[in-house]
Structure 1
Amino acid sequence: MLNIQSNEIKTHFSSILRQVENGQDFLITKHKKVIAKLTPFSNDNQKISAKQAVAEMKTLKSLNIKLDKINQYKTTGRR
């Protein structure tokens, strides 16, 4: 992870962005204090969430809860 001062961002933005695209992380500092972190975007959280959702649906399926009961819980939760 590299440190870069906030006043350097504007001057070197294109270069910094290319490095981020290649996986580099940056800590942005102002007056020697870290104010932000610049990291590459990742969809890993969505993939993990989808896997978790499927696992939870399989668990729910094994409980044999009927649709009427689910709708009842849903209605109760709205009150």
Structure 2
Amino acid sequence: MITVGAFEAKTHLSSLLERVAQGEEIIITRHGKPLARLVPVNVADRSRIDSAIAKLKVLRKNCTLDGISWQTLRDEGRR
């Protein structure tokens, strides 16, 4: 991962995009503070994935089958 200033990013955008297309991640800063992140389109945002998994785990804890086994439900769904 590299860091570039906003002016440099504007000046060298096409070459930065080439680097991103090759899998690199680039942080753009303004006055030394991170402002934006360039990542390849096919790279998943790990924080969003982790958040979704955490929400599913909470949802799963609150779900019950009221004494019915999951195998029974599975078999019922196959009919």
TM-score by length of structure 2 reads 0.54
CA distance 1:42–1:11, change in 2 (3 Å): same
CA distance 1:31–1:43, change in 2 (3 Å): closer
CA displacement, residues 15-69 of structure 1 (integer Å, 9 cap, x when unaligned): 0010000011001100100011110111768xxxxxxxxxxxxx8x71635xxxx
Cα distance, 1:9 vs structure 2: 1.5
| Identical-residue share of aligned pairs (%) | 33
RMSD value over aligned CA atoms?
2.5
C-alpha separation in 2, matches of 1:30 and 1:43: 24
Match of 1:71?
A: none
How do 1:1-79 and structure 2 match up within 5 A?
1-42=1-42, 62=74, 64=76
Q: Which has the higher helix share?
A: 1
Which consecutive segments of 4 or more residues in structure 1 shift more than 2 A? none
SS in 2 for 1:36: strand
TM-score by length of structure 1 reads 0.54
